[in-house]
Amino acid sequence: MGARSFLESLDALAALSTALDDRQLLAPSRCFGWARLDVLHHLHLGLQEMLGGFVCATTAEPTVNFATYWTAFADEQTDADPIPGMLFIRRGAGAYSRPGSLVRHLSATLPAVRAAAASSDPTARVHFQGYLLGVEDFLTTWAVEVAIHHLDVTNGDAALPSPPPAALADARRTLAALLGADLPAHWSDETAALKGTGRLPLDEADRAALGDLATRFPLLG
């Protein structure tokens, strides 16, 4: 968990983003209202914000961990209208002269984020988005964020690079912690990430395996 899965997720994101040409970048993603380019822009903004977290170290006790960060963040967003945020990302992505220009901008940011993560003290705590997290939990949340959006960008295209197994395992572990129970054993980690976040619907076998817990899905947006 943590640093290793995050670093691997960054490397996989770099391979994915540079594998897409301009037309592929404008194709739909799994995220409603966003093309692949928009998802990459959303990730780029988040990774730039993440750099700020690395320099905001603290000795204070964490307020959230790798799982409770997501519930705290979701609670703040409960009454928020998602449309303005969706359009903000689309406008930002559309400001580039060509889709490939955004990828080059992202490619310039990834090494800085990678270096900050690789050199981080695993016992440290950081400020991020109003929360305090241990570095390993901080990196785990971002391994999950990158891996899930990686799946959004590939949108089921098996010819494109996949997220790393370690990051998908962290996604499964996070979703299980949010559910408070194990996810169905017949799900692969990728399926768990897609069904746990509502990217794929639950089928009858899933609902039978989950029982009353099925009403809790999606666990993460």
Q: Encode burial over 97-112: b for 16+ CB neighbours within 10 A, e otherwise.
A: eebbebbeebeebbee
Give the rounded percent of residues in the chain with a pLDDT score beyond 90. 91
Distance of CA 140 to the CA centre of its chain: 10
Give CATH for domain 3-216.
1.20.120.450
Residue count of the chain:
221
Q: What is the pTM of this model?
A: 0.95
pLDDT at 221: 79
Contact 170, 140 (CB under 8 A): yes
Predicted confidence (pLDDT) at residue 148 exceeds the cutoff of 70: yes
- Helix, strand or coil for residue 178? helix
**Span 91-112, pLDDT tens digits:** 999 999 999 999 999 999 999 9
**Span 175-192, pLDDT tens digits:** 999 999 999 999 999 999
pLDDT at 80: 75
CA gap 173, 182 in Å, rounded: 9
Q: Which residue has the tokens 């928009």?
A: 38
